């Protein structure tokens, strides 16, 4: 038992929505322990031959999950078209990935589409360890009167081999809160880990450092996941993290 749900925002679900059967199976097992069910429908993959996501149809699956389990749903966006489709399917939360955060044009486009919106929008740190890129992407969002803004620490690109997929900057918690006031800071344990066997360790670390919540990729059959199979945990392990879970 690691996480007290009363003190954390919990975001979990598969890296990618692969089918309605898949997302439904996962949601049925974890919905009682989460605030947002996440599933990517557009996957910004470098390799054109890798799984690129199912696209708009995945949003219809998330809407069904939202209605069936009475939970909020979330996915990644990178442009205004993504945002408008999320509005159409009543997605509750969107996040900007590390690649999007570094591009002011993309951040601007998303901010304009979300202007005055109550949709939750979380901004992941950029791939490179330039904190100002992160801070200014958040400030750009704030300038458009978006009501619910948060941030996600997902680690930074590591030039040398380390124990994690992405290098965490744990001091960023204190630094972040000095620079950006009044918004939630979430730890993306899965993307920092890159390995399902150390996700639990990072959940412990995030709680010790008093993050405002966690994002954890959860799949009913991680070994067969179409994206990021190595870092996803199964629902049983996910549920074991919670007090009264």
- Domain extent listing, the chain: 5-40+51-239
Given CATH 3.40.50.880, say whether it is the number of domain 5-40+51-239.
Answer: no
pTM as predicted = 0.95
Long-range contacts of residues 159-168, Cβ cutoff 8 Å, at least 24 apart = 163/198, 164/192, 164/193, 164/194, 164/195, 164/198, 165/191, 165/192, 165/193, 165/194, 165/195, 165/231, 166/191, 166/192, 166/194, 167/129, 168/192, 168/202
pLDDT tens series, the chain, 245 aa? 688 888 899 999 999 999 999 999 999 999 999 999 999 999 877 778 788 889 999 999 999 999 999 999 999 999 999 999 999 999 999 999 999 999 999 999 999 999 999 999 999 999 999 999 999 999 999 999 998 999 999 999 988 888 999 999 998 888 999 999 999 999 999 999 999 999 999 999 999 999 999 999 999 999 999 999 999 999 999 999 997 54
């Amino acid at each position: 038992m690691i996480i007290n749900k009363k003190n954390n925002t919990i975001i979990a679900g598969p890296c990618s929505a692969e089918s309605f059967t898949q997302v439904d199976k996962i949601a049925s097992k974890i919905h009682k322990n989460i605030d947002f069910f996440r599933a990517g429908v557009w996957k910004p993959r470098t390799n054109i031959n890798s799984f690129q996501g199912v696209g708009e149809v995945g949003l219809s699956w998330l809407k069904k999950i939202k209605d069936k389990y009475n939970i909020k749903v979330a996915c990644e966006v990178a442009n205004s078209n993504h945002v408008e489709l999320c509005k159409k399917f009543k997605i509750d939360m969107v996040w900007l990935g590390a690649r999007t955060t570094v591009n002011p044009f993309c951040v601007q486009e998303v901010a304009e589409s979300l202007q005055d919106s109550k949709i939750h929008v979380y901004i992941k740190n950029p791939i490179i360890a330039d904190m100002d890129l992160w801070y200014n992407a958040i400030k750009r969002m704030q300038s458009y009167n978006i009501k619910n803004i948060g941030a996600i620490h997902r680690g930074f690109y590591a030039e040398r081999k380390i124990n994690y997929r992405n290098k965490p900057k744990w001091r960023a918690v204190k630094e972040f809160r000095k620079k950006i006031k009044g918004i939630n800071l979430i730890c993306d344990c899965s993307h920092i880990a890159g390995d399902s066997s150390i996700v639990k360790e990072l959940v412990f670390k995030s709680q010790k450092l008093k993050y405002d919540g966690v994002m954890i990729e959860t799949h009913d059959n991680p070994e067969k996941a179409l994206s990021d199979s190595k870092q996803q945990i199964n629902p049983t392990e996910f549920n074991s993290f919670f007090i009264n879970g």
